[in-house]
Amino acid sequence: MTAKLLMLQGTGSSVGKSALVAGLCRLYHRRGVRVAPFKAQNMALNSFITVQGDEIGRAQAVQAEACGLKPHVDMNPVLIKPNSDTGAQVIIHGKPVANMSAVVYHAYKETAWQAVSSSLARLRQTYDLVIIEGAGSPAEINLRDKDIVNMGLATRVKAPVLLLGDIDKGGVFASLVGTMELLEEDERELIKGFIVNKFRGDVTLLAPGLEMIGARCKVPFVGVVPWFGKEIYLPEEDGVALQNSGHDERRDEPGSAFGATLAIGVIRLAHISNFTDFDPLLHEPGVRLDYLDAHATLVGYHLIILPGSKNTLEDLVSLQAADLPRRLQAFVDAGGAVVGICGGFQMLGHRLRDLQMIESGRGEIAGFGLLPLLTEMAPEKITVQCRARVISSCFGPDLTVSGYEIHQGRTTLVEPAESLLQVTQADGVQYSDGCVAGGGRVWGCYMHGVFDDEGFRKAYLAWLRVHLANARPSSFSEGISYRQRKEDGLNGLADLLQKALDMKMIDQLAGL
């Protein structure tokens, strides 16, 4: 049996496609349908490593969780990770093939289509329903001739399409009509329904507009999804979300750590990647998490985090221009704590080398000098899931973490220092990861996901409270687990869509 198809496309980027696909996946999964997500081509710096060691978009990993499945590379066969204003690393079936300009990749799309086609065919032979997510807008007519992710895909596989518009941006009716006007006739025939997303207020006020646009375009509205904001938690897909995330950049002189037991700042890099590493901290009682511009004051914060980066050397140069190395050293000297994850870990070392120009043309530059490390970029990318035991005397004992690594760099110690983790890969290979200095005040590692682990996160936050905030470990309340919060978010979104959408119509469109 070949799986049925249902596709969600949007009138633009950030209209809510990823979230609604996740919600529909969970809804169908709860009904007992064997459902899987699919996004032919994803452009994102938030990525995930599968059990097989393949790299896919983080959004598809979340959608897989919604389906009760382990993420697989067939769910996102083409991943594009921008590393400059004009170029990106192109990843096919989980492995990087080359850095390409937009023009070169446009010519490469026929090859990329082979990966898309084979992956979708395998999913259709395994599941009952595949829910496909488009990218950006199908009305990007300058890219139509080689499109493999929106209508170019839909027309090849004859997928029924729901077109999603974001009313919070304004002009939702114009965006729906305009999109339809720019499509070819065979493409318009595949648009089977409209969805209005992120609506605030009384839905009856929309009725005249829904009726008029539905009649004009000869496409029914299958629902209006209300704005759910922070009431329903889902990990964000990419760093663009940080621009409107509501995380403040504090430049004033704070009072008592902004009223929180712990104040944590994450430096917002130009090429920030995997910032969802820090989402678990967002939901901890008594913790305030802000994303900071490189020029923002560090006064009042207990912990500063340097996150991952798709272009570590270029981001490091920008931080040097903002005088952050000197200010971060002063922050540590004044008693603050610093953590670096992946690219941020590399930056905390003495020097970074990219003599083969793997990520940039910078050659060799100085790091922050807070950890005794030397990092050299290598052609082969490390992508692996792993588990580890925390071996630092500062945060143990008996703590374990699990996560994944994604990096081009190879990091070595230039002088003896304490490691953070003893890592064990799935194949049994063991090695040390990370470095700890200053009695625990400065540390970093390559593993993404260390803060997802309840035990380590609680232990480290307790350490920070005792050593930096002069608080007792028992002086804060326990919150629900991060994993449970994600599950609650997926179920809450499924419940919301069940009420907001005409699921009988959607079932019929999907052929269920």
pLDDT tens digits, 122-161: 999 999 999 999 999 999 888 888 999 999 999 999 999 9
Average pLDDT score over residue span 302-306: 97
H/E segment holding residue 175: helix 172-182
**pLDDT of 243 over the 60 cut:** no
CATH code for the domain defined by 248-480: 3.40.50.880
Residue 252: pLDDT band by 50, 70, 90 thresholds? very low
Q: What is the pLDDT of residues 436-490, one digit of tens each?
A: 999 999 999 999 999 999 999 999 999 998 888 775 555 445 666 888 999 999 9
Q: What is the mean pLDDT of the chain?
A: 91
**DSSP-assigned letter for residue 227:** P
From CA 172, how far away is CA 162, in angstroms rounded? 15
The residue ranges of every structural domain in the chain are: 4-233, 248-480
From CA 81, how far away is CA 43, in angstroms rounded? 6
Average pLDDT score over residue span 281-307: 94
Which positions are catalytic?
342, 448
Asked if residue 244 lies in contact with residue 205, where contact means CB atoms within 8 angstroms, the answer is no
DSSP one-letter string for 78-113: EEEEE-SSSEEEEEETTEEEEEEEHHHHHHHHHHHH
Q: Which two tokens stand for residue 90?
A: 């192109």
From CA 119, how far away is CA 114, in angstroms rounded? 9
How distant, in Å, are the alpha carbons of 286, 319, 459, 466 from that of 471?
11, 32, 14, 5
H/E segment holding residue 494: helix 482-500
Give me the pLDDT at residue 257, please. 42
Q: What is the pLDDT of residues 131-141, one digit of tens each?
A: 999 999 999 88
Same fold, 4-233 and 248-480: yes
Strands laid side by side in the 78-82 sheet: 41-43, 78-82, 87-92, 95-101
Give me the pLDDT at residue 85, please. 75
**pLDDT of 372 over the 60 cut:** yes
The residue length of the chain stands at 512
Query: Is 286 in a helix, a strand, or coil?
Result: coil
CATH 3.40.50.300 given to domain 4-233: yes
Whole-structure pTM value = 0.91
**pLDDT of 203 over the 70 cut:** yes
Q: Which two tokens stand for residue 95?
A: 């492995």
Q: Which two tokens stand for residue 267?
A: 């430096």
